[in-house]
């Protein structure tokens, strides 16, 4: 079983690769819309990639209002446990 820190690390690494930004520039409290300058369609693409990577399903109702990496990592981690 992974820890929340490992989940966050994987989330940030996948995001870094997908959007070609250094992982060192990403922080748990960052608003991913602002930090990555992306739109909702790009976030959906990222979420699909995360679901595949972590082999989980993230229901839309659980993701409403989430805008930062830390909270997203918590939701992903809760599905892994």
Q: Is the pLDDT of residue 1 over 70?
A: no
CATH of the domain at 23: 1.10.1200.10
Q: Rounded CA gap, 38 and 53, in Å? A: 21
User: Residue 11: which domain range?
Assistant: 4-80
Q: Model-level pTM? A: 0.91
* Per-residue pLDDT tens digits for 41-61: 998 899 999 999 999 999 888
Total number of domains constituting the chain: 1
Residue 21 confidence class, pLDDT cut points 50, 70, 90? very high
């Amino acid at each position: 079983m992974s820890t929340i820190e490992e989940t966050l690390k994987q989330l940030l690494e996948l995001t870094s690769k997908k959007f070609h930004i250094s992982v060192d520039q990403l922080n748990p409290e960052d608003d991913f819309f602002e930090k990555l300058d992306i739109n909702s369609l790009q976030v959906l693409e990222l979420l699909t990639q995360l679901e595949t990577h972590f082999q989980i399903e993230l229901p839309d109702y659980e993701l409403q209002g989430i805008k930062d990496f830390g909270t997203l990592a918590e939701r992903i981690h809760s599905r892994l446990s």
